[in-house]
Amino acid sequence: MGGWFYQYREELVEGFDQETAAVVLARYISLKMEIEEEFDATRWLDRSLIRLCSRFGDYRKDDPSSFSLHSNFSLFPQFMFNLRRSQFVQVFNNSPDETAYFRMLLNRESITNSVAMIQPSLISFSFDSPPSPVFLDVASIAVDRILLLDAYFSVVIFHGMTIAQWRNMCYQNQPEHQQFAQLLQAPQEEAQVIINGRFPVPRLVVCDQHGSQARFLLAKLNPSATYNSAHDVPPGSDIIFTDDVSFQVFCEHLQRLAVQS
C-alpha cells in the first residue's frame, strides 16, 4: 500500500502543471464566490495550499527550515499568493459588473493569458542592460529604470524618478542624448505590441514614481518593503503603504503550518 502511494505521488509530481493548476483554482473559486454567499476564498485557498505542501513537500516533521518543494511545484505558492491579492478574490474596489467581466475573461482565455491575469509580468528597461524580466516586487523599482507591467486588463509604463525628471527636462530631444530617447521609446513600443495583439484592448497607464497613477503598478507588487520597514529600503527604491504580508512572510507561515505534526 505504501509503495503504491509513493509511486502514485511521484507520477503526480512529475506530471503537475502549476500554471494550469493555478488557473483551474482561480476559475473554481470564482464560481464558488458567485454561488456561495458565505464562501471565504482566501481561507479556502490557504487551507488548500497548506494541504498540498504538507502532502507533496519534502521536510522533517516540525522543522520548517527543512521544507522544500519539487521544481514542478516551486512557483505554485507564488501563484496562490498573487491569486489571493487579485481582482478575482479581492472584489472590494470593483463594481459587480467589473467583477463579472474579469471572471468571464478568466473562463474564456487561454492558460497563458489567464496566468497573466493572476500574476502579471514585469519587464525592466535601463541603460545598463537589455530589456529583461524582473521580480514582481517593490524592490524592482529604481530611479533610473522604466518598468513595463502586463496585468492583462491593463498595461503600465512606470518611469523611475530620475528618468521622469530627465524626460520633463526634454533631454530626449537633444542630439547628444539619443540613447535616452531610445530608452523612453522601447517600453512604448513593447506596450503597443501587447495592446495590438489583445482583445479586449487593455488599458494603457503611463505614470511616474511617486505620481498618483503609480498605484496601478504598486497594487500588483509584492510588498517586501512597507512603511513598517522603510529603514531597510535602498536609496531610490520605494515602499508600499499596506498592512498585507509580503511573499516571504507568507511562505514562512506556509512552511510552518505544512510541517506541523
Q: What pLDDT score does 23 carry?
A: 98
Mean pLDDT of 3-11: 60
CB crowding 234-250: b at 16 or more within 10 Å, else e: eeebbbbebeeebbeeb
Contacts of 70 (CB under 8 A, 6+ apart): 13, 16, 56, 58
pLDDT confidence bin for 33, thresholds 50/70/90: very high
Query: Taking all residues of the chain, what is their mean pLDDT, rounded to a whole number?
Result: 92
User: Residue 172: CA atoms inside 13 Å, Cβ hemisphere, count?
Assistant: 13
Please tell me the distance from the alpha carbon of residue 49 to that of residue 185, in angstroms, as a whole number. Answer: 42
- Record the pTM: 0.91
pLDDT in tens, 151-187: 999 999 999 999 999 999 999 999 999 999 999 999 9
Instruction: Kindly state which CATH superfamily the domain 120-221 is placed in.
Output: Severin (3.40.20.10)
CB crowding 32-50: b at 16 or more within 10 Å, else e: ebeeeeeeebeebbbeebb
pLDDT confidence bin for 8, thresholds 50/70/90: low
Please tell me the distance from the alpha carbon of residue 8 to that of residue 183, in angstroms, as a whole number. Answer: 51
Supply angle C-alpha 224, 230, 234, rounded to 5. 75
Q: How is domain 2-115+246-258 classified at the architecture level of CATH?
A: Up-down Bundle (1.20)
pLDDT in tens, 203-234: 999 999 999 999 999 999 999 888 776 556 66
Please tell me the distance from the alpha carbon of residue 204 to that of residue 213, in angstroms, as a whole number. Answer: 11
Please tell me the distance from the alpha carbon of residue 89 to that of residue 92, in angstroms, as a whole number. Answer: 9
Q: Domain limits of the chain?
A: 2-115+246-258, 120-221
Query: Which residue has 520605494 as its cell numbers?
Result: 238
Mean pLDDT of 57-76: 94
